[in-house]
Amino acid sequence: MPTETVYGLAADVTDGAALTRVFAVKGRPAAHPLIVHVSGEAMLGTCVTGVPDGARRLVRAFWPGPLTLVLRRSRLVPDAVTGGRDTVAVRAPDHPLTREVIERLDRPVAAPSANRFGRVSPTTAADVEESLGEGVDLVLDGGPCRLGVESTIVDLTRDTPLLLRPGGVPVEAVEAILGAPLPADSGPPRAPGMLATHYAPQARVVAVEAGDVGRLFAAMRPSVEACAVLCPTDIPVPEGLARLDAGPNDVSYGQRLYTLLREADRRGIRHVIAVLPPATGIGTAVRDRLLKAAADVP
Ligand code: TXA
Ligand code: MG
């Protein structure tokens, strides 16, 4: 199903067989929990045991929209969705087709991004066909996703709210509603090489700060034909290198990110030098995805 962020692989949250298929089709480990999609605040109430004040303010500010809240789960939400956790991630997607599906079903819908585990998220119906092919019963074509990067995830089950994943709602906007800084989850440091690559195309992604492209390209010396630079329009690209144009700003970079990584694979590009945007607005999410796509690179 389409959402404003990326396409989701949807299953009725109360249908155990459908949930099992979601994990099988994605090739996703069972312990990796799914986001539950609801029509709004009332349906959120059926998924959780309580909505703290900060969560309620966020819901009213950003739903429907690209903000996922982690709260204590109710009995409606099975272990299969949460990987056995006592918390659940919930959001109300902002896409008319998918809102209608949830409203008519009158139950929440669990949906991870509709890609194979670890790969690039789909932002068009054609991307879903390419990723999952015969594995799914139906693809609802709602056109290209408006935002192109996944939702922002905020954990509200601790003493203070925690950012689990930057996404479509800028961190600054969440902080403004909460009236407090939103620290990022700083879990145990993971050794390079042990970190599973995520959001990754077939091409090797090397993430660099703007200004480092030339130096990095000289150090890498891949063949020019098999190398491209993913960057905003105003960043110069070394002579002879292909450009994957992320457009003028952080919003266009988010919209085009996954499309351009898929395009790189289609064109047989083996190395993508990705220029990191500044860490503001959607740029924070774009940086996060590029660094994860590049996680196997020292
Ligand atoms: O924009 C989005 O959020 C898209 C669209 C389809 O809604 N969905 C999406 O789902 O990105 P997925 O499965 O690719 O990512 C879900 C993320 C994972 O990082 C997972 O660990 C986290 O949500 N998550 C889910 N339940 C959680 C929980 N109870 N506690 C902490 N993290 C959770
Ligand atoms: Mg995903």
For residue 246, pLDDT over 50 is answered with: yes
CATH class of the region 204-293: alpha beta
* Residue ranges of domains in the chain: 11-178, 204-293
Rounded to two decimals, the pTM is 0.95
Q: Closest ligand 1 atom to the C-alpha of 114? A: 6
Q: What's the pLDDT at 192?
A: 46
Q: Mark residue 101 as left, alpha or beta (left: phi above 0; alpha: psi -120 to 50; beta: remaining).
A: alpha
Mean pLDDT of the region 282-292: 96
Q: Look at 148 and 191; give whichever has higher pLDDT.
A: 148
Question: By C-alpha distance, which of 13, 20, 27, 259 is closest to 148?
Answer: 259
For residue 190, pLDDT over 70 is answered with: no
Give the domain 11-178 fold: DHBP synthase (3.90.870)
Among 37, 68, 88, residue to substitute to test ligand 1 (most atoms within 8 Å of Cβ)? 68
Residue identifier of the C-alpha nearest atom 15 of ligand 1 = 112
Which of 81-95, 199-213, 275-289 has the weakest average pLDDT? 199-213
Query: Tell me: the pLDDT tens digits for 155-164?
Result: 999 999 999 9
Residue identifier of the C-alpha nearest atom 7 of ligand 1 = 8
* Ligand 1 centroid, distance to 10 Cα (angstroms): 13
Query: Tell me: the pLDDT tens digits for 115-144?
Result: 999 899 999 999 999 999 889 999 999 999
Question: By C-alpha distance, which of 89, 97, 195, 74 is closest to 151?
Answer: 89
Instruction: Name the one residue in this structure whose structure tokens are 């009213």.
Output: 60
Beta bridge partners of residue 242, listed in sequence order? 228
Q: What's the pLDDT at 297?
A: 46
* Ligand 2 centroid, distance to 224 Cα (angstroms): 31
Q: What's the pLDDT at 197?
A: 72
For residue 223, pLDDT over 90 is answered with: no
Percentage of residues in the chain having pLDDT higher than 70 = 94
Q: Closest ligand 1 atom to the C-alpha of 167? A: 1
Question: By C-alpha distance, which of 232, 237, 230, 279 is closest to 258?
Answer: 230
Q: Closest ligand 1 atom to the C-alpha of 7? A: 6
Q: What's the pLDDT at 251?
A: 98
For residue 188, pLDDT over 60 is answered with: no
DSSP string, 102-161: HHHHTS-EE--BSS-TTBPPP-SHHHHHHHHGGG-S------S-SS-SPPEEEE-SSSS-
* Ligand 1 centroid, distance to 36 Cα (angstroms): 8
For residue 298, pLDDT over 60 is answered with: no
Ligand nearest to the CA of 89: 1
Q: Look at 252 and 241; give whichever has higher pLDDT.
A: 252
Query: Tell me: the pLDDT tens digits for 11-61?
Result: 999 999 999 999 999 999 989 999 999 999 999 999 999 999 999 999 999
The span from the first CA to the last CA of the chain, in angstroms, equals 36
Q: What's the pLDDT at 212?
A: 85
Question: By C-alpha distance, which of 76, 75, 74, 86 is closest to 33?
Answer: 86
* Ligand 1 centroid, distance to 156 Cα (angstroms): 14
Q: Closest ligand 1 atom to the C-alpha of 153? A: 23
- Measured CA to CA, the distance from residue 157 to residue 55 in angstroms comes to 10
Q: Look at 86 and 221; give whichever has higher pLDDT.
A: 86
* Ligand 2 centroid, distance to 240 Cα (angstroms): 34
